[in-house]
Amino acid sequence: MEKFIKEFSDQVSSALAKVPSREVAKALKILHGVYERNGRVYVFGNGGSLALATHFVADLNKTVFSHNLDKHKRRFQAIRLPSTETEITAWANDVGYNMVFAGPLQNYLQEGDAVIAISSSGNSSNIIKAVELAKKNGVPVIGMSGFDGGKLNKLADSKVLVPTAKGDYEIVESVHAALLHMMVKYFKNAFDYMVETGRIA
Domain span at residue 20? 2-196
Q: Is residue 53 part of a domain?
A: yes
Q: List, in order, residues 6 or more apart from 22 with CB less than 8 Å away.
A: none
How many domains does the chain divide into? Answer: 1
CA atoms within 13 A on the CB side of 57: 23
Q: Is residue 15 part of a domain?
A: yes
Residue 159 is predicted with a pLDDT of 98
Q: Is residue 163 part of a domain?
A: yes
Q: Is residue 9 part of a domain?
A: yes
pLDDT tens sequence across 75-131? 999 999 999 999 999 999 999 999 999 999 999 999 999 999 999 999 999 999 999
Is residue 163 within a helix (H) or strand (E), and if so which, with residue range? strand 158-163
Residue 201 is predicted with a pLDDT of 54
CA atoms within 13 A on the CB side of 105: 32
DSSP readout, 17-82? HHS-HHHHHHHHHHHHHHHHHT--EEEEESTHHHHHHHHHHHHHHTGGGGGGTTT-SS---EEESS
- CATH of residue 147's domain is 3.40.50.10490
Q: Is residue 111 part of a domain?
A: yes
Q: Which pTM does this prediction carry?
A: 0.95
pLDDT tens sequence across 140-195? 999 999 999 999 999 999 999 999 999 999 999 999 999 999 999 999 999 888 88
Q: Is residue 201 part of a domain?
A: no
Give the angle 138-183-188 at the CA atoms, nearest 5°.
115
